[in-house]
Structure 1
Amino acid sequence: MKKIAFLCAILMAPVAAHAQSMPAWKSYTQTGNPANIVPSAGTTDSVAAWIAKKVDTSSGTSTNQALTTPAITGGTSTGQTLNSATVNAVSLSMSGTSLPLNDSSGNQIGTLGNTGNLSLVGWASTYRRIIPDSLKTAADGNDDAPSIQRALNILATDNQLGGEIVFLPRVYNINSPITQTNQGVWRCVHGHMTTGGAWGDATQRYGGTWFNIGSSFIGGTASPITISGGAAIGTVIDGCAFFEIQPASTNPAAGQSSYSWAPSAYPFVIDMESVQGDVTITNTLWRGITKGMYSDFSGRLNIDHVKADFYDVGIEIHHSYDVDRINDVQEWGFNSSPYDVIYYKTQHGYLIRLFRADTPFIDKIFSINMFTALEFDTDAAGTSASGASEAGGAPTKVQIGNLTCDGSIHCIVNNASGATFKADIIDYQGANNTQSAFTAFDGSAIEMAASGYGQVDKIFSQAVGESVIHMFGSGCSYVSVGSVIMDETGAAAGASGYLNDSNTCTATSFAAYNELYLAVPPIRAMASPPSTWTPSTANRHLYWPSPVAQE
């Protein structure tokens, strides 16, 4: 009995530097109570049961222990191997060494250095997803551009082959320029609402990732986003939405001859300089944007699935020698369409402007309330941003699929001598939507302001105020059309009913006269059509074959 009591007293002594659970034993030698005598075994409170729970120590250190579901609060754990562990930490501090990170197969995929920098190795280093929000500093203030630039700098300086910049579903404020010089993917969250939100309220944008272009860019020439240099080949911008805070409309009544609203003088949102190939911009939304995308000396540009409300220019391409593709673009009043805004766009709005562009492919274009959906212009020879020589000239061999223009003055305008194009379907409606009654603009489906050559399969037109095809350049042009249907049954005020109009021109390599050839006779549905198909016979030829009845 005394021997057991003596052992009990020893076990009650505290173990220094270890916070372990202790039995609630009392010493029989002190209490004289037989109930306090501790049995050697056989109960959960026996000496044997508690010895099994003890931890051996040496100089305050416990080694080679198997810990089952431990809870470590505070202090330091050194040299531990944690298997299938869940670690909740406010911070992980490194001191004097580095921490290797292994995958489930034991292969090292990274190292956390003693300065807190994370370096990826092996397969993990070949595919990166960087969230710029994690790189934001207090000094950035309300500007998200510096953190985005830091993310892009990581892609540009570590000798890797790009990666993804992953954006969250929120509004990013862009108040300073961003430059991308290496391949990288801008991965935004889709799901933007194309309508809704106050005209000038940056916070009322719904769903997905938005970029708010700050007022600091107004009046300047530097774009908020510049993609530059040959190493940026393969850049992708996917699922992003852009907006600018514009002057408020006065919401005037319809029927006025002119209106005074104008957008703020923002530069192009995205500027692509000397990339020389394969930039893709897809699944984007542009609400209330003065100028959208600009490309110079950067062929093989791919622009796809665009919803937009552009005021001055949507897409402008210069010095492109290698097959750009523009597909599925819808220009609509997504930012609202008061009459003064509609008026400005019909006088100044160009959805797509092509300067020197060789064999671009353009398809599934819908444009409403613009001056023109597509314009051809001449590039001067020059030097690119990378120092390369740039040949000038006109757009040639432009391949057009389906082009629909509603409430616009023109569908195609050619200002570039020597331009050539082919189109499958042109659907043109020239109603002036700022008027209270159905009224036609003084417009045309195809405006040949300079000499050129065009082939069109089908043209359908309504509310034509000038003529379906208007040729008035100083040099002569040639246009051939498979079939033309002129539908003026809606009786638009000012509709001319003319198929073609032209002026005196100088012979060119295209034609000695302004010549329009149709494969079949045109159809004109109009209550009181003019007696001729053209108001003038000056230096022009208009031909189609006479039908022959077949048995």
Structure 2
Amino acid sequence: MKYILMTICLLFSSCQLLAQPYIDVTSAPYNASCNGTTDDTAEIQRAINAAQTSGVALYIPKTANGCRVTSTLNITSSIKITGAGTMPYRGPPRGDSSRGPGSWIYFDHTDVGLRISNGLGNPISGVVIADIGTRRKQPSPGTGDTAYTPCNCDYDFKIEDADVEMNDITVLNPTKLAYVDNTSVARFVVNTMRSQPLKEGINIHRAYDVVRLNDLYFWPYWADLHNVNNYTINNRNSLWLFRADNPQVSNFFSIFDRNCVAFDYTPDGANDNGITSRFQGQNIGCDQSVIGVAVDTAAKSTTAQFTNLYILQPEEWKNIDPNILISAKNTVIDFSNARLSNANASALVIKDSVGTNISITNGWADNWNRANGGHAAFYVDAGATINISPSPRVSGGNGGATFAGGGTSTTLAKVH
């Protein structure tokens, strides 16, 4: 039998699926059509339920238009969902007509796409989703500068108290991509994700265990059009962190967003500890991002480290926003190898942030003060401290000073 299986493996690329049983949603007794037109909600949910009960993997085959569902799909226990990959676009991305075939789940409704929760307050472990894609029914992007607004759709993925691992996923055109609320011993791990979130990327609302996000690409896979990109520049929070303990983010690229990495606050627990602690970010590119790193006023005592970061503000942005904006007290952030470019005003602003301490090693600010408003590259309010070593590399500031404000410096560069 072993030799027969080895022969099959040599002859066919589907060796792994032949060696292991799986549930194909298009096969009996489920018989989902996956033609993009027929409502496959009941068939897909029955297949999910069967896979959870049996422990057998669920398989979404590659088709031209995907499996159409008209209401939320629910996962309530461990499961592996796998597919044959996706082709986000063929030719220039211009909306749904340019999308290629793949293992797609088509959310033809405005509610949550896939909810992972048992609703009992107990954690779910062992949820793995790999090599599939999701897509939404969005308004046609049109052409030119016609104002664009996406559907008022909920999250494609809503995860509550669940260990979830995602590998090689396309979330094509969500209004809001993913919401994570893990207050138990549950983790959220992503390895390779492609998406064009239109209003919100990944929202880590509460995560008491480590979130690990690696190889995320937020790029206009669905529609690389000026009006759509203009909407995301004005509206999108790409990575939005509220209460998160020790999150690890690496190799994250985002283009055309309002806030690339945003630290916020949510009321949480008796000690009201609803902020992000010990964030670690490596190799992060915020391209055409209005604000690359933002710390909200309420997110006091946030702590973070960034290594290899660049932020480039859109040329067309005219408001007075910096590349980095820190508005919270007692915040501690270390930046290493950071290039801040093209800010209409300052490259970095620390305001109303008594007790905040920011460290920059190998910093570069270029082409700031595009508004010619006399903005300094680094502005630090009284009560805050900035440590820069060695002296920052600066170029093209349109006459703006390198430092301004009433804050203090403890290293080579003086703030005032």
The alignment's TM-score, normalised by the length of structure 1, stands at 0.64
1:431 and 2:306 are equivalent in the alignment: no
Identify the residue that residue 247 of structure 1 maps to in structure 2.
139
- Which whole-Å CA distance do the structure 2 matches of 1:365 and 1:418 have between them? 24
Question: What's the CA shift for 1:473?
Answer: 3.4
State the number of aligned residues.
387
1:414 and 2:295 are equivalent in the alignment: yes
Question: What's the CA shift for 1:441?
Answer: 5.5
1:242-391 matches, within 5 Å, as 242-253=134-145, 260-275=147-162, 277=163, 279-297=164-182, 299-381=186-268
Identify the residue that residue 358 of structure 2 maps to in structure 1.
479
Give unmatched runs, 5+ long, in structure 2: 3-18
Contact 1:131–1:166 under 8 Å retained in 2 = yes
Contact 2:141–2:223 under 8 Å retained in 1 = no
- 1:85-124 CA-to-partner distances (Å, cap 9, x unmatched) read xxxxxxxxxxxxxxxxxx99xxxxxxxxxxxxxxxxxxxx
Q: With a CA cutoff of 8 Å and minimum separation of 6, indicate the structure with the bigger relative contact order.
A: 2
Change over 3 Å in CA distance of 1:527–1:477 after alignment to 2:
closer
1:449 and 2:327 are equivalent in the alignment: yes
Q: What amino acid maps onto 1:146 in structure 2? A: A
Change over 3 Å in CA distance of 1:364–1:129 after alignment to 2:
same
Contact 1:295–1:317 under 8 Å retained in 2 = yes
- Which whole-Å CA distance do the structure 1 matches of 2:133 and 2:171 have between them? 6
Identify the residue that residue 385 of structure 1 maps to in structure 2.
none
Question: What's the CA shift for 1:398?
Answer: 0.3
Question: What's the CA shift for 1:272?
Answer: 0.8
Contact 1:166–1:186 under 8 Å retained in 2 = yes
Identify the residue that residue 522 of structure 1 maps to in structure 2.
392
- Which whole-Å CA distance do the structure 1 matches of 2:43 and 2:25 have between them? 5
Change over 3 Å in CA distance of 1:267–1:312 after alignment to 2:
same
Contact 2:262–2:295 under 8 Å retained in 1 = yes
The partner residue of 1:533 within 384, 402, 410 is 402
Identify the residue that residue 153 of structure 1 maps to in structure 2.
49
Question: What's the CA shift for 1:136?
Answer: 3.5
Q: Which has the larger radius of gyration?
A: 1
- Which whole-Å CA distance do the structure 1 matches of 2:326 and 2:413 have between them? 26
The alignment's TM-score, normalised by the length of structure 2, stands at 0.84
Identify the residue that residue 133 of structure 1 maps to in structure 2.
26
1:223 and 2:112 are equivalent in the alignment: yes
- Which whole-Å CA distance do the structure 2 matches of 1:390 and 1:167 have between them? 45
| Percent of pairs with identical residues | 20
Identify the residue that residue 107 of structure 2 maps to in structure 1.
213
Identify the residue that residue 112 of structure 1 maps to in structure 2.
none
- 1:362-386 CA-to-partner distances (Å, cap 9, x unmatched) read 011111110111111112237xxxx
The partner residue of 1:397 within 255, 259, 278 is 278
Change over 3 Å in CA distance of 1:517–1:322 after alignment to 2:
same
Give unmatched runs, 5+ long, in structure 1: 1-102, 105-125, 254-258, 383-388, 505-512
Q: What amino acid maps onto 1:271 in structure 2? A: K
Q: What amino acid maps onto 1:209 in structure 2? A: S
Contact 1:430–1:440 under 8 Å retained in 2 = no
Change over 3 Å in CA distance of 1:311–1:139 after alignment to 2:
closer
Q: Which has more strand, going by share of residues?
A: 2
Question: What's the CA shift for 1:496?
Answer: 6.1
Contact 1:425–1:458 under 8 Å retained in 2 = yes
Q: What amino acid maps onto 2:385 in structure 1? A: E
1:144 and 2:40 are equivalent in the alignment: yes
Q: CA RMSD in A?
A: 3.1
Identify the residue that residue 460 of structure 1 maps to in structure 2.
339
